[in-house]
């Protein structure tokens, strides 16, 4: 009598194990699909936010470019408030820019201003007008920064510009 009972218990055990595995597989699949859909929604939400942030950044940079370019054309000097606004905008849009240049490479104020204006994509002539320096002096600053920071054998102002734009 003990053997048939043992067989029944064994079969109940096997069937319950199969049901448990099947149920847990179905639950696992359901959760994976649910998680995938949630992740996909989050991805598209982040992508939309990134697009909004990029558009905002481009608008801010465009306004700053226009503002500083018009100051240069009028042959005026930017006020401290205008420099502060440029610095704050650069900090917001490019969070590591100032750290990499000022704190890591120890740029002085003029060198940092030149780099910010390069990041803003102003031409050297406008940079010279904004800083009350000659175009040659601005090129010399850029060349010196290229040599000092990029350890370039043949330093060129354009190499520094490319480096700054890549930050």
Mention every residue, 6+ apart, whose C-beta is less than 8 A from residue 121. 65, 165
Torsion of CA 147, 149, 150, 151, to 10 degrees: 60
Sequential pLDDT tens for the chain (167 residues):
456 666 777 777 777 777 767 776 666 666 656 665 565 565 555 555 555 566 777 777 888 888 888 888 888 889 899 989 888 888 888 888 888 888 888 889 999 999 999 998 888 999 999 999 999 999 999 999 888 888 877 888 888 889 888 88
């Amino acid at each position: 009598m003990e053997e048939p009972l043992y067989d029944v218990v064994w079969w109940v055990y096997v069937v319950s194990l199969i049901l448990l595995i099947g149920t847990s597989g179905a639950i696992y699949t359901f959760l994976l699909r649910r998680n995938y859909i949630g992740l996909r929604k989050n991805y598209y939400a982040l992508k939309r936010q990134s697009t909004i942030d990029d558009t905002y950044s481009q608008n801010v940079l465009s306004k700053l470019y226009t503002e500083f370019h018009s100051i240069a054309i009028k042959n005026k000097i930017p006020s401290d408030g205008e420099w502060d606004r440029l610095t704050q905008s650069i900090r917001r849009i490019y969070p590591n820019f100032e750290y990499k240049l000022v704190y890591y490479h120890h740029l002085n104020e003029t060198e940092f201003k030149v780099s910010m204006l390069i990041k803003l994509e102003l031409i050297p002539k406008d940079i010279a007008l904004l800083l009350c320096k000659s175009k040659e002096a601005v090129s010399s600053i850029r060349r010196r920064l290229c040599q000092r920071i990029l350890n370039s054998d043949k330093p060129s102002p354009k190499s520094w510009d490319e480096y700054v734009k890549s930050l």
